Amino acid sequence: MRTPFTEAFGVEYPIVQGGMQWVGRAELAGAVSEAGGLGLITALTQPTPEDLTKEIARAREITDKPFGVNLTILPTIKPVPYDEYRHAIVDAGITIVETAGSNPAPHMDFFHEHNVKVLHKCTSVRHAVKAQAVGVDGISIDGFECAGHPGEDDVPGLILIAAARKEISIPMIASGGFADGRGLVAALALGADGINMGTRFMCTVESPIHEKVKQQIVENSELDTELIFRTLRNTSRVASNEVSRETVRILNEGGKFEDVQQLVAGVRGVKVYENGDPEAGIWSAGQVQGLIDDIPTCADLISRIVAEADEIVNERLSALVGAGEQVQA
Ligand SMILES: Cc1cc2nc3c(=O)[nH]c(=O)nc-3n(C[C@H](O)[C@H](O)[C@H](O)COP(=O)(O)O)c2cc1C
C-alpha cells in the first residue's frame, strides 16, 4: 500500500500511532513501527530530555524500522524546556517528529537543519494551510471526533478531511475516529494519504496501560466521551466518567480552571492507567470507542486494517462500480 505519505516518510503502511500522553511509550511506538506503521514516542511523557533519550533507545531494541517522536506544544502550568527536548530528539538520530498544539514555525529550522521530517497535527484547514506555508513535510488533520484536543471549530472528519485536501498539496493523513479498514478506505476516498489513530492503538496488547482501561474502551460506546474545558476554549475530548462529568458541570455553571484543577490533575489521570481504575481521573478517549471490540497486538491490528481495506476496495466497491457499469451498458 503506497501513498504519498508512505513514500515521504519511509514507512510500509499509511498508518500512524499519534502522540499520547502517558501511553506513547517505547513498547507501543516500537510495536507499531515494527508492524510497518509509524509509531511515535510522546516526548513529554518523559519527565526530562535525558529520559526521552533512554526511551528512544528502548524503542530501538524493539525495532530497526523508523519511528518518530511527538512534541506537543500546549500551554502548561510548568514551563517545558522544549529546546532541550528538541536536542534530545535529534541527538538520538530521530528523523520524524509529530508536532501538535500550536504553530510549528519556531521549531522548523532546527528540525530541517538536522534532517528531521515534520508531520504537523492540527484541527482546522487554516492551521493546516499555515503549517504547509512554514514548510512542514506532512499534515495530520484531526477531526472533531478525536480524542484529546479537537479545537473549537467542531468540524467532523467527513468535512474537514475533504476541505483540507482542497488546500493541502503535501502528504496529508486523516486523524480522529479511525479504527479499521473501512476508516482507512474512507480517509483515502476523502483525499487523505493515510490515517492517524490514538484510541485504537491505546487498546492493543503492547499499549502500556492497565488491562482494565483497555477493557473499559471495549465496553464503551461512541457516546462515552465528554468535552471538558469548552468554556475555557481549550476543549479536550476524554472518556466519560464521574470526574469528567463533574468537571463539565462545574465549568458550565461558571466555574474557573482553579475550581476543577484538582479533578483534572495529571497525577490522577496517571493513576487510571497504572492502577486500572477508569474512575480515578481524567483520561483521553475518542468517539471511536464505539468501533473498538477487542485488544489485538499492533501487528494483528495493522495487518487486519490493510486486509480489510483491500477487501473493501477490490470486492465490495469494485463490485458496486462494476454493477453500475453493467446497468449503464
Ligand atoms: C490517551 C491519549 C492521549 C493523547 N495525548 C496526546 C498528546 O499528548 N499529544 C497529541 O498531540 N495528541 C494526543 N492525543 C491525540 C492523538 O494523538 C490523536 O490525535 C487522536 O487520538 C486521534 O483520535 P482517535 O483517538 O479517534 O484516533 C492523545 C490521545 C489519546 C487517546
| pLDDT tens digits along 224-235 | 999 999 999 999
Q: What is the pTM of this model?
A: 0.96
> Which range among 73-87, 93-107, 111-125, 150-164 shows the weakest confidence by mean pLDDT?
73-87
CB 202 less than 6 A from any atom of ligand 1: yes
pLDDT at residue 312 is higher than 50: yes
3-state secondary structure of 251: helix
- pLDDT at 152 (0 to 100): 97
State the distance from the centre of ligand 1 to the C-alpha of 292, rounded, in angstroms: 16
pLDDT at residue 329 is higher than 50: no
Task: Ligand 1, residue 197: give the atom nearest the CA.
Answer: 27
pLDDT at residue 75 is higher than 80: no
State the distance from the centre of ligand 1 to the C-alpha of 315, rounded, in angstroms: 32
Question: Average pLDDT of 128-144?
Answer: 98
With beta carbons less than 8 A apart as the criterion, state whether 213 and 29 touch: no
3-state secondary structure of 316: helix
Query: Residue 74: what residue type?
Result: L
pLDDT at residue 323 is higher than 50: yes
- pLDDT at 94 (0 to 100): 98
With beta carbons less than 8 A apart as the criterion, state whether 65 and 33 touch: yes
CB 197 less than 6 A from any atom of ligand 1: yes
pLDDT at residue 282 is higher than 80: yes
Residues, the chain: 329
- pLDDT at 321 (0 to 100): 87
Contacts of 92 by beta carbon, 8 Å cutoff, 6+ apart: 52, 53, 56, 57
CA 189 to chain centroid: 20
State the distance from the centre of ligand 1 to the C-alpha of 18, rounded, in angstroms: 6
What are the structural domains, with CATH classification, of the chain? 4-202 (3.20.20.70), 211-288 (no CATH)
**pLDDT confidence tier of residue 126, bands split at 50, 70 and 90:** very high
Residue nearest to atom 18 of ligand 1 (CA): 198
Angstrom distances, CA of residue 182 to CA of 30, 208, 234: 25, 26, 31
**pLDDT confidence tier of residue 157, bands split at 50, 70 and 90:** very high
CB 122 less than 6 A from any atom of ligand 1: no
First and final C-alpha spacing in the chain: 32
**pLDDT confidence tier of residue 325, bands split at 50, 70 and 90:** low
Residue of 85, 199, 283 best suited for mutating to test ligand 1, as the one with most atoms within 8 Å of CB? 199
- pLDDT at 39 (0 to 100): 98
Please spell the DSSP secondary structure of 56-93, one letter per residue. HHHHHHH-SS--EEEEE----SS---HHHHHHHHHHTT
